[in-house]
Structure 1
Amino acid sequence: MSGLGIGLIGTGFMGKCHALAYGSVKAVFGDVPDTRLEVLCDVPQDKAEAFANQFGFARGTADWKDLVADPKVDIVCITTPNKVHREMAMAALEAGKHVHLEIPMALTIEDARDMLKAAANKGSKTIVGYNYLHNPAIAHARKLIEDGAIGRLVHFRGAVDEDYQADPELAWTWRATKADAGLGTLGDLGCHLISLASALVGPVESLIAETRTVHATRPMGDGSDERRPVENEDIASALLTFANGVHGVISTSRSAWGRKSYIGFEVHGTEGMITFDQERMNELRLYQNRGPLAEQGFKTILTGPSHPPYGQFVPAAGHQLGFNDLKVIEAREFLRAIAEDRQAVPSFAEALHFEEVIHAIAVSGETGRRVQL
């Protein structure tokens, strides 16, 4: 059987994103192995069958273990709630599959480390869904830094905010529990900022942090007066020291009214700075202290075909890539890694560092102490 068979577990926002990515990656790039959309899993069975038909999969199943065991499936995409990531990924690795996993890797750092060991023992290829890393604007920011456009790096400042938990009367869900969700805003949002900081500046060496739960309880949402506690953090902030000596300040909130998909950062150097805002994801701003002082100012760089692989989607600047396009680029990276017998970026190995950082922030927030990574 030719090509790589795709098995998708989950049909929510990210499940659909994966289906779209693997369904179109060959058309966009052409330089990847052939793929087959083989099995889609959701519950109950009729839902799985309906989405399999909608997304273009050969069949649907309500049993994820059936999907993992299917010999036609080569890549298992896991887009389920956090608490089952470890079990599903470990089963897929044991079955000899490659794993495309959404963030976070697992509820605990110990589970994430076990998953990395399992992948290494089996020789399977892995990738974790940090699709913001695949934005051509981010790749260009990294190139500017490597080329010395802003001199020696001295400081990173970043924030990642959304408002999906800002309303105090929003109904309680599994996301409020450590047993089902693990970390709160750190696991949902903060890890994305850490992935970008690591890509642009390098690994984090130590940190000290504070965390807060904004809304201590939430209503059950069934018309009763019962409220249940929120066990994980709504806000987290940290002072970072990177391994190369660069200083950093980051914050993340899932209770920030008005923020929808905000990931903003500034990278400061001795000769300028770079800024970015995910809500304007096709723009990068660059300041360089060159030329006459009266003419210095920020330059807005609008991504286009000169920022690969933008041109594979659109032949002209100004037409904009979107969130789902980044997942297509991510799928391409994974398929090419499998074909070239190398690990994709970010694999479980890179993603483990991101999760070590967010768990260190949680520990520091609880203890008030600096944590060494």
Structure 2
Amino acid sequence: MQKIHVGFIGAGGIAQAHVYAIEALKFYYNEIPEIILESVSSARPESRERFAQKYGFREAQSQEAFFANPKLNAVFILGPNKVHFEHFEKALKMPGVRYIYLEKPVCSSLKEEQKMKELLAEAGSSVKIQVGFQYLQTSAVREGLNFWKSGALGKPVHFDLKYYHGDYLHEEYRKKRVTRLTPAPDGGAMADLGSHGISLLMAFMGEEIQITSALQAGDFEGVPAGSDLFSSLSLFEPQTGAVGNMSASRISSGSGDLVHLEIYAEKGAFRYSSQHSEYYEYYLEGSNQWVKQIVGSHYKPITSFPSGHVPPGWLRSLVHAHYLFFSGDDAAANIADLRHGLAVQRIVRETADHLSTFRKKFKNEQA
């Protein structure tokens, strides 16, 4: 059996979710490599040591020691957004590394985007790179995307996607997450939540989507104007001529963790909501009825543990993303590689420019 020695750079909440997903692989899939939790690194020694002890990593290392560790075959980049590019560049130079899992956003500036494209070209196929857009691996999205690509609904006309949270309405919550309130494109709702929405839209609509304008709302003490709490994009897809809206929010009361996608096409319509993650729906023009396609936890033909009729949760898609990362054996999957991540990042970066224009024009923000 193949052995893969894994290292985490980052020991926060998202790292905890990734450990869970790795440990859960053996319950969901019959054929997976042996995953060895080798090393974890983070800025604070007490944080990484506590994480290593709690989750069974063999070592807790400084960053210098981590990037010099010859045992590591796979690196998960899970630190703050602003250092994703720096850690990615260092991981590529590690001689034993053959897998890199990069959390979104992939980087924080145009300069870093351009350099990443160069690094990707240089790496070629020697390193497998996957970006953390696990919503693509939600079972209903996975099957719904393949249904959409069948062409049964025809050419898209208009679309709408929402990704809403409400936690940042609370001052205590904001104070605990000051590092996430940096100005866009490093921080803000569009970088944090919206990047997942952009990824979904691009999976369905293609990666050439363009922004025509942007709006921003939400003003709270201690939150920089450039760190959007709610933002909305008007989008244009040049190949089909389809137009639509995409909005991301940290301040939508009662929304929970809402992802909602609707696409209206020439021959019908498609919709999916995380509030009913076990199915997607479609409408064929002339049929006079919406069809609810139940998917449950099916990842046919690979697995349906614990049962095909059981609704999947947020972590289930992350588990499948890890299966793809370590095996790649799912012809039905739409895998978020670095090219996809950079296409998403283009929209995230351009959003910051459009929001700045909006604030200067309508909120009298000084240049």
TM above 0.5: yes
Contact 1:310 1:321 in 2 (8 A): no
In structure 2, what is the equivalent of residue 182 of structure 1? 186
Task: Return 5+ residue gaps in structure 1 as ranges.
Answer: 219-227, 369-373
TM-score, L = length of structure 2: 0.86
In structure 1, what is the equivalent of residue 107 of structure 2? 106
Which amino acid letter does the alignment assign opposite residue 55 of structure 1? Y
Matched, 1:357 2:353: no
Deviations 1:194-242 (A, max 9, x none): 1111111212342222232512532xxxxxxxxx645321122122111
Secondary structure in structure 1 of the residue aligned to 2:8: strand
Which amino acid letter does the alignment assign opposite residue 347 of structure 2? V
In structure 1, what is the equivalent of residue 75 of structure 2? 76
For 1:246 and 1:173, the matched residues in 2 are separated by: 37
Shift of 1:188: 0.3
In structure 2, what is the equivalent of residue 225 of structure 1? none
Say if 1:166 and 1:309 are closer, same or farther in 2 by CA, change over 3 A: farther
- The sequence identity of aligned pairs, in percent, is 23
For 2:301 and 2:167, the matched residues in 1 are separated by: 31
**Alignment partner for residue 291 of structure 2, among 299, 308, 311?**
299
For 1:112 and 1:348, the matched residues in 2 are separated by: 10
In structure 2, what is the equivalent of residue 145 of structure 1? 148
Deviations 1:266-325 (A, max 9, x none): 01112221111123222212222344xxxx2322222136553684422331x1211111
In structure 1, what is the equivalent of residue 227 of structure 2? 232
Say if 1:178 and 1:81 are closer, same or farther in 2 by CA, change over 3 A: same
Which amino acid letter does the alignment assign opposite residue 85 of structure 1? H
In structure 1, what is the equivalent of residue 337 of structure 2? 347
Contact 1:304 1:311 in 2 (8 A): no
Secondary structure in structure 1 of the residue aligned to 2:107: coil
Matched, 1:324 2:315: yes
For 2:212 and 2:264, the matched residues in 1 are separated by: 21
For 1:69 and 1:253, the matched residues in 2 are separated by: 40
In structure 2, what is the equivalent of residue 223 of structure 1? none
Deviations 1:150-189 (A, max 9, x none): 232222111111112223574271222239x713111001
Which amino acid letter does the alignment assign opposite residue 118 of structure 1? L
For 2:352 and 2:301, the matched residues in 1 are separated by: 36
Secondary structure in structure 2 of the residue aligned to 1:92: helix
Shift of 1:92: 0.7
Contact 2:7 2:38 in 1 (8 A): yes
Deviation larger for 141-150 or 254-263? 141-150
TM-score, L = length of structure 1: 0.85
Shift of 1:16: 1.0
Say if 1:326 and 1:65 are closer, same or farther in 2 by CA, change over 3 A: farther
Contact 1:107 1:182 in 2 (8 A): yes
Deviations 1:47-106 (A, max 9, x none): 423322321222222x12322221111111111111111111111112242321111111
Secondary structure in structure 1 of the residue aligned to 2:157: strand
Which amino acid letter does the alignment assign opposite residue 288 of structure 1? L
In structure 1, what is the equivalent of residue 365 of structure 2? none
Which amino acid letter does the alignment assign opposite residue 326 of structure 2? L
For 2:45 and 2:206, the matched residues in 1 are separated by: 45
Deviation larger for 167-176 or 350-359? 167-176
In structure 2, what is the equivalent of residue 224 of structure 1? none
Contact 2:215 2:232 in 1 (8 A): yes
For 2:74 and 2:20, the matched residues in 1 are separated by: 15
For 1:166 and 1:55, the matched residues in 2 are separated by: 32
Contact 1:39 1:67 in 2 (8 A): yes
**Alignment partner for residue 130 of structure 2, among 121, 127, 131?**
127
For 1:345 and 1:240, the matched residues in 2 are separated by: 23
CA RMSD of aligned residues (A): 2.6
For 1:204 and 1:167, the matched residues in 2 are separated by: 36
Secondary structure in structure 2 of the residue aligned to 1:217: coil
Say if 1:264 and 1:59 are closer, same or farther in 2 by CA, change over 3 A: same
In structure 2, what is the equivalent of residue 136 of structure 1? 139
For 1:148 and 1:136, the matched residues in 2 are separated by: 20
What are the residue-to-residue correspondences of 1:82-97 with 2, within 5 Å? 82-96=81-95, 97=97
Deviations 1:323-373 (A, max 9, x none): 111111111111124x99xxx9211111100110122222223236xxxxx
Contact 1:151 1:271 in 2 (8 A): yes
What number of residue pairs does the alignment pair up? 349
Shift of 1:45: 3.2
Secondary structure in structure 2 of the residue aligned to 1:204: coil
Contact 2:214 2:234 in 1 (8 A): no
Deviation larger for 262-271 or 116-125? 116-125
**Alignment partner for residue 270 of structure 2, among 270, 274, 285?**
274
In structure 1, what is the equivalent of residue 283 of structure 2? 287
Secondary structure in structure 2 of the residue aligned to 1:313: coil
